[in-house]
Amino acid sequence: MWMIYHIINRINQWLDEKLFFEGIDPRILTLKKVVIVAYIAALIPVIFMTALVWHFDMNTLLPYGFYLIAFYTIFIPLLFFLKRKIPITIFIGMTYIIVVTFIYTLKLGGLTNSCGIFFGSLATVIFTAIINDIRFAIWLSIIYVVTIILSGILQPYFQIPADIPPDKNVLFFTLNTTWISIYIIAFILFFILEQTKAEKEETRRLKEQDDAKTQLYTNITHEFRTPLTIILGMVEQIREDPDKWMHNGLKRISHNGKTLLHLVNQMLELAKLKAGANPVNLILSDIILYLKYLTDSFHELAQSKQITLKFSSPHTLYFMDYDPDKILHIVSNLLSNAIKFTPSGGQIEVSAKAAPHGQSSFTICINDNGIGISKDKLSHIFDRFYQVNNNTNHKSAGSGLGLALTKELITLLDGHIEVKSEPGKRTAFTISLPVTQEAPLTEDLSLSQFSELLSTFTSIPVIEKTAPLCHDNTDHAPPIALIVEDNSDVIHYLTTMLDQDYRIMTATNGKEGYKMAIKLIPDIIICDVMMPVMDGFEMLSQLKNDIRTSHIPFILLTAKADVQSRLEGLEKGADAYLTKPFNREELLIRLNKLIELRHTLKERYTTLTPIPPTDNKALQREDSFMEQVRTIMEQHMGDEAFGIDQICSETAMSRAQLYRKFKALSDKTVGEYLRSLRLKKAQELLKKTDLNITQVAFEVGFKNLSHFSHAFLEEFGYNPSKARKD
């Protein structure tokens, strides 16, 4: 039985490959496959039994075998090629088998003398299960039952043929019922196997759907939380100091309000499309004028990024049917993407033209020379909520809704969209729309009616450059806070909150943030999770695994409120996790707490004695760094020329990195610490050995005795000679 199961499984896989064609319904594929497998499996014993019948000269039964063989040899290839009307074809085939079997049951002298062939009909009826159509199953069962009853009733009217004596009937009855029974069992096994596979497939599909939904909610909440943080934050600031914040705050509130409105509009639009509740409202009007108007509306936004935006067309005007609302959504989505993904100094061109005579289509092309989209990502970009680099945190600003909506709108208009892109060079979206001229003529389309909707696409973010950081590393310089965030409004909001107490540096993605952190060794990092190029988690784990930056307190700032993300952040070493929308107080409290914690660390590392062991993994790393530096210092203590440069080369850090890390941990400069260490050693030597003061001074790297005495007095409040006396 196991063998049969195995063989069938192999055939199953082979058939999957052979029978598949683009667009085939998976249920039809299964149906074809099962029938082919079943018929091939039946053909073999049928040939064998027919040969046996021939051998025994059972001429009455012989044609039945031939009919069946002929049927299978025609029907099996037919199923390979047939692409439509498959269930009904199979039903007809099954009916044929039952009818032929019925005729031969009668010819053989009725049910009891049928050599068991009527079992073949029973197997056929059982097979209707796979057509999965109750009508076919009922019909076939009726036909079968009728043939059985008729065979019983008519039995007395038929003679038993001479070539089918009772012993042969018994032999063939046994053989036929045996192979047909095995055949039925194998079929049931196969059916269960397929059923289980189908169930698994369904579970996988449901899970995928579920994951997509979760992804959708995550993206949506992210999209809502960021603007909400700004709006709520700005309201707070305006309330506190209206004179200072009113103007700027209102601009940001308005921009973020529009971002929210845009998102809601897009979602509603998609929902309407899905529900089929978005009728096409065609007007016959000049599409060139309309496209120019749409492109013009984006000029200011493009200019704010120093992008050149051009419109070109060989036609001065072109009258055709179009739905202004839908064209607005389509073109605006593509244009705002082009602006979003083209760096400053780039170029975007919108071109529109009708196809040459004879082809009734109109194409709109939106070309940009921006970052481009990689080949493997191109086929997904029209999927809902798909964003390139789509591992949930790696994101570009946006919801991933725009292109899905664009595509659905274009489909609704009977058009189609194509995208070509060369990563790092250019992207071109080409839309083709059918040209008709049947809608009511609207010559004076009032364009102003679209301005409100357009403004949700063209709202310009308020960007303020942060002042370059002055490299003041003196003790009085305020600490450096590095803000890594892709939303300029959030950067602004955080800056206004912190710039009184911190020197603020900003980066707009994880990679840039990482480079800055390594270069500057900031005192604190506040970082978003979802960012383009490198996400916050990745940046966090890279910095926490780098000894130069592992000590820096790291606050993850995110719209991802789910527990899993929180845990992931904390596991990777985040010191705090703040969910948007957060308020000022909350952030300041977190910062203060981290700074307090930093102070306890300073006590741990200021001491010149060995650091007590700890279970805390993060602390262990810092402990070993401090121990390493101390060991290097102790080894070279007698060398007067020894200093920060040697420590830098042994720890593979730059002077600035070593300085900032060491100071952050111990609140002392490397030089101060080295001096204290030398003097402490001197104190020890004076107490415990007979070396004279000059020898001791020499031993700890002081070549100048008066310099040593002076330093000693300053450190301990008494002269070296006093230490000796004690």
Specify the residue, 176 or 387, whose C-beta has the smaller distance to ligand ADP.
387
Among the residue ranges 400-408, 436-444, 652-660, 711-719, the one whose residues contact ligand ADP (CB under 6 A): 400-408
Least distance CB 387 / ligand ADP (angstroms): 4
Among the residue ranges 47-55, 158-166, 370-378, 560-568, the one whose residues contact ligand ADP (CB under 6 A): 370-378
| Nearest to 588, CA basis, from 505, 526, 665, 508 | 526
Structure tokens at 252: 């940001």
Among 79, 270, 388, 524, binds ligand ADP (CB under 6 A): 388
Specify the residue, 33 or 384, whose C-beta has the smaller distance to ligand ADP.
384
For position 370 contacting ligand ADP by CB under 6 A, the verdict is yes
For position 324 contacting ligand ADP by CB under 6 A, the verdict is no
For position 285 contacting ligand ADP by CB under 6 A, the verdict is no
Among 79, 140, 338, 525, binds ligand ADP (CB under 6 A): 338
Least distance CB 408 / ligand ADP (angstroms): 11
For position 364 contacting ligand ADP by CB under 6 A, the verdict is no
Give the number of residues in contact with ligand ADP, rule: CB under 6 A: 22
Specify the residue, 186 or 403, whose C-beta has the smaller distance to ligand ADP.
403
Largest CA distance in the chain: 138
Among 218, 427, 542, 657, binds ligand ADP (CB under 6 A): 427
* CA 131 to mean position of chain CA atoms: 38
Residue type (1 letter), 426:
R
Among the residue ranges 114-122, 289-297, 363-371, 534-542, the one whose residues contact ligand ADP (CB under 6 A): 363-371
For position 398 contacting ligand ADP by CB under 6 A, the verdict is yes
Specify the residue, 226 or 333, whose C-beta has the smaller distance to ligand ADP.
333
Least distance CB 636 / ligand ADP (angstroms): 53
For position 381 contacting ligand ADP by CB under 6 A, the verdict is yes
The beta strands (E) that lie in 586-674 are given as none
Among 373, 524, 574, 576, binds ligand ADP (CB under 6 A): 373
Least distance CB 69 / ligand ADP (angstroms): 58
Specify the residue, 101 or 266, whose C-beta has the smaller distance to ligand ADP.
266
* Nearest 10 degrees: Cα torsion 124, 129, 134, 136: -30
Among the residue ranges 371-379, 437-445, 608-616, 672-680, the one whose residues contact ligand ADP (CB under 6 A): 371-379
Q: CA 668, 672, 673: angle at the middle one, nearest 5?
A: 75
If you write DSSP's letter for every residue of 133-199 in order, what string do you get? -HHHHHHHHHHHHHHHHHHHHHGGGSPPPTTS-HHHHHHHHHHHHHHHHHHHHHHHHHHHHHHHHHH
Among the residue ranges 105-113, 333-341, 445-453, 508-516, the one whose residues contact ligand ADP (CB under 6 A): 333-341
The Cα 192–Cα 194 span in angstroms is 5
| Nearest to 527, CA basis, from 588, 574, 563 | 574
| Nearest to 217, CA basis, from 385, 461, 427, 459 | 385
For position 302 contacting ligand ADP by CB under 6 A, the verdict is no
Beta bridge partners of 550: none
Specify the residue, 26 or 343, whose C-beta has the smaller distance to ligand ADP.
343
Residue 176 neighbours by CB under 8 Å, 6+ apart: 49, 115, 116, 117, 119, 120
Least distance CB 297 / ligand ADP (angstroms): 18
For position 226 contacting ligand ADP by CB under 6 A, the verdict is no
User: CA-based Rg of the chain, rounded to a whole angstrom?
Assistant: 41
Among the residue ranges 29-37, 79-87, 335-343, 461-469, the one whose residues contact ligand ADP (CB under 6 A): 335-343
Among 124, 176, 337, 458, binds ligand ADP (CB under 6 A): 337
Contact 455, 490 (CB under 8 A): no
Measured between alpha carbons, how far apart are the two ends of the chain, in Å? 96
Beta bridge partners of 418: 430
For position 368 contacting ligand ADP by CB under 6 A, the verdict is yes
The Cα 345–Cα 334 span in angstroms is 19
For position 534 contacting ligand ADP by CB under 6 A, the verdict is no
Contact 519, 526 (CB under 8 A): no
Contact 425, 369 (CB under 8 A): yes
For position 399 contacting ligand ADP by CB under 6 A, the verdict is yes
Contact 414, 398 (CB under 8 A): no
Least distance CB 259 / ligand ADP (angstroms): 11
Specify the residue, 427 or 651, whose C-beta has the smaller distance to ligand ADP.
427
Among 109, 110, 249, 402, binds ligand ADP (CB under 6 A): 402
Among 124, 169, 226, 396, binds ligand ADP (CB under 6 A): 396
Contact 587, 548 (CB under 8 A): no
Angle between helices 166-240 and 2-19 (to 10 degrees): 60
Among the residue ranges 52-60, 271-279, 393-401, 685-693, the one whose residues contact ligand ADP (CB under 6 A): 393-401
Least distance CB 367 / ligand ADP (angstroms): 9
Among 30, 114, 218, 387, binds ligand ADP (CB under 6 A): 387
Strands 426-434 and 503-507: unpaired
If you write DSSP's letter for every residue of 396-443 in order, what string do you get? -SS-S-HHHHHHHHHHHTT-EEEEEEETTTEEEEEEEEE----SPB-S
Least distance CB 396 / ligand ADP (angstroms): 4
Among 64, 173, 318, 341, binds ligand ADP (CB under 6 A): 341
Contact 347, 368 (CB under 8 A): yes
Q: Which residues bind ligand ADP (CB under 6 A)?
A: 333, 337-338, 341, 368, 370-373, 381, 386-388, 396, 398-404, 427
